[in-house]
């Protein structure tokens, strides 16, 4: 056995000894009581916070570790002006007022990085280059998983998140990803939310409505 | 202001007072040190645990609260036999050995439930019925976000997760979702992982490789 394999096994066993599960407050923070935010306090989001955010989200699982998400953090007034024409009317004002808005994109040519990301399978690139449909689906699915990890990572750090898909993807692609193989997926404002802008929570399905145990 | 709006605002403000951020152990559990598992201890996963899992994941954000994910928990020997023919050779044995494997599907007709899920916008259904492409993209994107919430919720409860997309979606759809508007997205084994089956961690991108701050 490789010594790095052994180290990985010890690390997982140690994790289990340190912590068995999240407590109620932690569950509330990342999912149960967390809310999509529409209003923001003026408190800014530092470069260092965005780096911490990425260092957490990047560890989430993707198929063959393909990690197709590509992020643009729109923070300056100039960058916001470039984003504005792509936003739906309902999303414009709140996005301009957010400290930062992440554009979560996915790279259709993610497979060009598999030699680095998935080094133990030398043929991994060929799994995806043979079918454009599979490559697109893999990029979109896994880039979206990473978008969810970003939302959870933000909340884990005490940030609030306001994810949105109400915008013109083609306009964002032309403005921010021209000449690349990256396509926009969704956008997500990040900052410290203003609780007075929260609305009541919408209903959720019951287990019986959408789950089966077979 | 609606009294439920006020209650929501108080709940968010109280959350901020109770907990500012996750501690290092909690971050390790849900993302930083968590690993995709390939081997499982015999410890079973109870119905009650699957219900807890759903009650956490369902609170994650989706576009217009559309909540398109549909879950089948494959746990019995009979259900595993139905799943087996759809699995890739590399995923077969470990999936049969897992205590339970969730099939995460998405409902293309999610919009038929928006009157319940998004009651304050009476026209929400029409946003999606006018374009089959938009409906499909919305179902796939948001169903995938919910799949990521499921992975995080599982880890939060002390379960391990083994997400996989190496299977024949058409076979799974025919076997588990025939005659419905649900399509399979990915599958995810759940249980208590065997640390001795972990391999060394694959590399991740650096911030500079895939992120820009503008």
Q: What is the DSSP letter of A111?
A: G
Checking ipTM against 0.95, whether it exceeds it is yes
Mutation for B interface: A76, A152, A177, A187, most B CBs within 10 A: A152
Q: What is the mean pLDDT of residues B162-184?
A: 97
Q: What is the mean pLDDT of residues B59-80?
A: 98
Arithmetic mean of pLDDT over chain B: 96
Nearest Cα neighbor of A70 from A187, A158, A202 is A187
| Token reading at B190 | 């759940």
Q: What is the pTM of this model?
A: 0.98
* CB-based contact A63 B201, cutoff 8 Å: no
Arithmetic mean of pLDDT over chain A: 96
Strands B100-107 and B182-191: antiparallel
pLDDT surpassing 90 at residue A53: yes
If you search the block for the tokens 């396509």, which residue do you land on? Answer: A183
Q: Taking CA atoms, what residue in A is nearest to B141?
A: A144
Gap between the Cα atoms of A184 and A179, Å rounded? 13
Nearest Cα neighbor of A22 from A156, A199, A190 is A156
Strands A211-213 and B160-164: unpaired
Comparing A105-109, B11-15, B89-93, B205-209, which segment has the lowest mean pLDDT? B11-15
* Tens digit of each residue's pLDDT (9 = 90 or more) over A107-146: 999 999 999 999 999 999 999 999 999 999 999 999 999 9
Nearest to B70 among A71, A201, A210 (CB): A210
pLDDT surpassing 70 at residue A95: yes
Q: How many CB atoms lie within 10 A of CB B123?
A: 8
* Tens digit of each residue's pLDDT (9 = 90 or more) over B138-150: 999 999 999 999 9
pLDDT confidence tier of residue B1, bands split at 50, 70 and 90: low
How close, in Å, is residue B157 to chain A by CA atoms? Answer: 5
pLDDT surpassing 90 at residue A16: no
SS3 A43: coil
pLDDT confidence tier of residue A3, bands split at 50, 70 and 90: confident
Q: What is the mean pLDDT of residues B153-178?
A: 97
pLDDT surpassing 90 at residue B16: no
* CB-based contact B54 A207, cutoff 8 Å: yes
* HEC sequence for chain B: CCHHHHHHHHHHHHHHHHCCCCCHHHHHHHHHCCCCCCCECCCCCCHHHHHHHHHHHCCCCCHHHCCCEEEEEECCHHHHHHHHHHECHHHHHHHHHCCEEEEEEEECCHHHHHHHHCCCCCCHHHHHHCCHHHHHHHHHHHHHHHHHHHHHHHHHCCCEEEEECCECHHHHHHHHCCCCCEEEEEEEEEECECHHHCCCCCCCCCHHHHEEEC
What pLDDT is recorded for position B3? 86
pLDDT confidence tier of residue A176, bands split at 50, 70 and 90: very high
Q: What is the mean pLDDT of residues A65-92?
A: 97
What pLDDT is recorded for position A1? 60
* CB-based contact B148 A152, cutoff 8 Å: yes
């Amino acid at each position: 056995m490789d010594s790095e394999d052994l180290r990985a096994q010890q690390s997982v066993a140690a994790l289990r000894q340190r912590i068995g599960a999240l407590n109620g407050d932690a569950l509330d923070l990342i999912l149960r009581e967390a809310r999509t935010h529409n209003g923001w306090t003026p408190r800014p989001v530092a470069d260092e916070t965005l780096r911490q955010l990425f260092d957490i989200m990047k560890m989430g699982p993707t198929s063959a570790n393909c990690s197709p998400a590509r992020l643009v953090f729109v923070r300056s007034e100039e960058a916001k002006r470039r984003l504005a024409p792509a936003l739906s009317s309902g999303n414009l004002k709140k996005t301009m007022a957010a400290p930062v808005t992440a554009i979560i994109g996915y790279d259709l040519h993610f497979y060009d990085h598999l030699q680095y990301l998935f080094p133990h399978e030398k043929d991994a690139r060929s799994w995806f280059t043979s079918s454009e449909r599979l490559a697109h689906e893999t990029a979109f699915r896994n880039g979206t998983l990473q978008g969810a990890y970003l939302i959870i990572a933000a909340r884990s750090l005490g940030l609030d998140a306001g994810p949105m898909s109400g915008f013109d993807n083609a306009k964002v692609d032309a403005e921010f990803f021209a000449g690349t193989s990256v396509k926009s997926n969704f956008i997500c404002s990040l900052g410290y939310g203003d609780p007075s802008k929260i609305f009541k929570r919408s209903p959720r399905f019951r287990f019986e409505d959408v789950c089966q145990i077979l």
